[in-house]
Amino acid sequence: MSPAPGVPGDTIRGVSTTSRAARPATGLAIVPALLGLVRFKHTVFALPFALAGALLARLEWPSAATIGWVLLAMVGARSLAMALNRLVDARIDAANPRTAGREIPSGRLTAAQVLWFSAGSLAALLVAVSRLPEITWYLWPVPVAGFWLYPYTKRFTWACHLVLGVVIGLAPVGGWIAVTGSFALAPVLLGLAVAAWIGGFDVIYALLDVEFDRAHGINSVPARFGPVRALWITRGLHAASVALLAGAGAAAGTSWVYFAGVAACAAVLLFENLHVDPADQGRIQAAFGRANGILALIFIAFVVLEVTLP
């Protein structure tokens, strides 16, 4: 088989990483291909927390312009992060039967197309931060460096899930700084809460590839410690996430409304951890996608209520 366009043939511990190439998308067909590349529906994992950081900064609604620039920054940042992740992991994705159908290894998008998309996403991020407090202009290289670093971490450490969590955990910190132009304890605690939450459910997601990861030298918590112990690590991270969410609310001076939201998030995490079964891929997918999407929406809904109710 010939390699997908833009993805040189390679091997990972003796297994070919090339994949049969489809015809690259052109014209309007490139839009759904790019939406598939960035998994646009998974934006729910980060965007609500960026908005939460902006709303909790002064416990009131920022200007419409600020909200708009925060949204543009988040869309640009997340699109860039996903595009870079797919570029760096293209050969690994091609070797894994579960991911070989993704846009780059399948040939629906070329590496050049994804690079151009990455450049456009970075441009959107830079336009947005140029309209926010000056400090955001000096800080934007920090998350972008994280976007580059994360995909490589699975090559050398099982703690890659925590790196992903920390990178995404920058979102609420960025939302807060976009409104206030300064750091504070509350957004740091909120960012750490997101990091623990994301790191925990990324461990669940890695259950899908335990055997592949072990066979091909890819590091993950399930591959290193086994599925049962991995789920206990997830439970610990999620317990820490709930505690950090509560701490962030206390530091920001929120009311009982916010803490009711934290309790609702804790209930979702409890369900997620009780529901997941490492032997059942359907339950893994439900715990990863559905439960965490619901949690993010519940959290932002209660934050909106916190700043809206008299």
Q: pLDDT for 93-117, tens place per residue?
A: 999 999 999 999 999 999 999 999 9
In the chain the beta strands, taken as DSSP E runs, fall at 11-12, 15-16
Q: How large is the average pLDDT for residues 154-168?
A: 96
Query: What is the DSSP secondary structure assignment for residue 132, as one 8-state letter?
Result: S
Q: Return d(Cα 87, Cα 103) in angstroms, integer.
A: 10
Q: Return d(Cα 177, Cα 211) in angstroms, integer.
A: 42
Q: Return d(Cα 86, Cα 4) in angstroms, integer.
A: 13
Look at residue 23 in the predicted model and tell me its pLDDT: 83
Q: Return d(Cα 294, Cα 196) in angstroms, integer.
A: 17
Q: Return d(Cα 162, Cα 146) in angstroms, integer.
A: 12
pLDDT digit string (tens) for 277-307?
888 877 887 777 788 889 999 999 999 999 9
- pTM, to two decimals: 0.89
Q: Which segment of 13-27, 206-220, 226-240 scores lowest on mean pLDDT?
A: 13-27
The answer to whether residue 309 scores a pLDDT higher than 70 is: yes
pLDDT digit string (tens) for 121-155?
999 999 999 999 999 999 999 999 999 999 999 99
Q: Return d(Cα 98, Cα 22) in angstroms, integer.
A: 17
- Between the CA atoms of 163, 167, 169 and 171, what dihedral angle is there, to the nearest 10 degrees? -170
Look at residue 70 in the predicted model and tell me its pLDDT: 96
Q: Is the distance from CB of 224 to CB of 207 less than 8 angstroms?
A: no
pLDDT, greater one: 11 or 239: 239
Q: Is the distance from CB of 94 to CB of 4 less than 8 angstroms?
A: yes
Confidence at 41, pLDDT banded by 50, 70, 90: low
Look at residue 37 in the predicted model and tell me its pLDDT: 87
Q: Which segment of 44-53, 185-194, 213-222, 280-289 scores lowest on mean pLDDT?
A: 280-289
Q: How large is the average pLDDT for residues 255-265?
A: 98
Confidence at 21, pLDDT banded by 50, 70, 90: low
Q: Return d(Cα 203, Cα 220) in angstroms, integer.
A: 7
Structural domains for the chain: 40-308 (1.10.357.140)
Query: What is the DSSP secondary structure assignment for residue 43, as one 8-state letter?
Result: G
Q: How large is the average pLDDT for residues 7-22?
A: 46
Treating both helix axes as pointing N-terminal to C-terminal, what angle do 256-275 and 292-308 enclose, rounded to 10 degrees?
170
Confidence at 39, pLDDT banded by 50, 70, 90: confident
Look at residue 133 in the predicted model and tell me its pLDDT: 95
Q: Is the distance from CB of 92 to CB of 160 less than 8 angstroms?
A: no
Q: Which segment of 7-16, 20-29, 117-126, 192-201 scores lowest on mean pLDDT?
A: 7-16
Look at residue 279 in the predicted model and tell me its pLDDT: 81
Q: Return d(Cα 92, Cα 10) in angstroms, integer.
A: 9
Q: Return d(Cα 232, Cα 273) in angstroms, integer.
A: 9
Confidence at 18, pLDDT banded by 50, 70, 90: very low
pLDDT, greater one: 9 or 171: 171
What percent helix, strand, coil does the chain show, rounded to 5?
75, 0, 25
The answer to whether residue 6 scores a pLDDT higher than 50 is: no
Token pair for 52:
């939460």
Q: Return d(Cα 40, Cα 83) in angstroms, integer.
A: 11
**How many Cα atoms sit within 13 Å of 168 on the Cβ side?**
28
Q: Which segment of 9-13, 82-86, 186-190, 250-254 scores lowest on mean pLDDT?
A: 9-13
Q: Return d(Cα 145, Cα 11) in angstroms, integer.
A: 27
